[in-house]
Amino acid sequence: EAGVAQSPRYKIIEKRQSVAFWCNPISGHATLYWYQQILGQGPKLLIQFQNNGVVDDSQLPKDRFSAERLKGVDSTLKIQPAKLEDSAVYLCASSLPRVWDTDTQYFGPGTRLTVL
Amino acid sequence: AQSVSQHNHHVILSEAASLELGCNYSYGGTVNLFWYVQYPGQHLQLLLKYFSGDPLVKGIKGFEAEFIKSKFSFNLRKPSVQWSDTAEYFCAVRHGSSNTGKLIFGQGTTLQVKP
């Protein structure tokens, strides 16, 4: 079974530029998550989709971050404009559409963003 | 705010030594508990998980963890580590009563095993 795919793996941009990350979840997984992992910290949830609907985006900085999952499969996370503090690894995860108390998430390799 | 605390940020062991990594969480209700591992250059992988039942959970590669509800803890153990266990380990918690899959992660523990 193919895992969660993410691209690009690395991205270097200057502050105030825009950037987009792409994620393709495991086939059949209805739930998709984007996490931000700053160096030395654990991942922090930015947004969760169930099919193409948003379940939780309470920690997404909506003034500069946006995400979509238009067809309920792959997803794009965008930052516009980027700030220095956005330097992090952006992780995508997916899970089957089970009840939440048995949910297990599978993670992709991540995109390492450096903002100069 | 709910939080997960991993007591050891960096652990160095020799091969064959025993391992215990601490994890405590601050939520008093029903929880789902996870340990994830990230080997150098690889993505986060599930090591083991606890949803309900036997509080002693066995995972892959000889790891186990014990859920102690009264102590709000879910410590990871392995009786004899190998050089290949060198990795970063993350404890994560999900609120069992939540209607989302949101995981709250600890800050991680870097384990270095010397051959």
Mean pLDDT per block of 10 residues along chain B (115 residues) reads 88 97 90 94 93 93 95 96 97 81 92 95
**Cβ–Cβ contact B46 with A under 8 A:** yes
Longest dimension (CA), chain B: 45
Would you state the pLDDT for residue A104?
85
Rounded CA-CA distance A49/A72 in Å is 8
Rounded CA-CA distance B48/B3 in Å is 20
**Cβ–Cβ contact B77 with A under 8 A:** no
Indicate if the pLDDT at residue A96 is higher than 80.
yes
Confidence of residue A86 (pLDDT cuts 50, 70, 90): very high
Average pLDDT, chain A: 92
Would you state the pLDDT for residue B102?
86
* CB < 8 Å to A40, chain B: 107-108
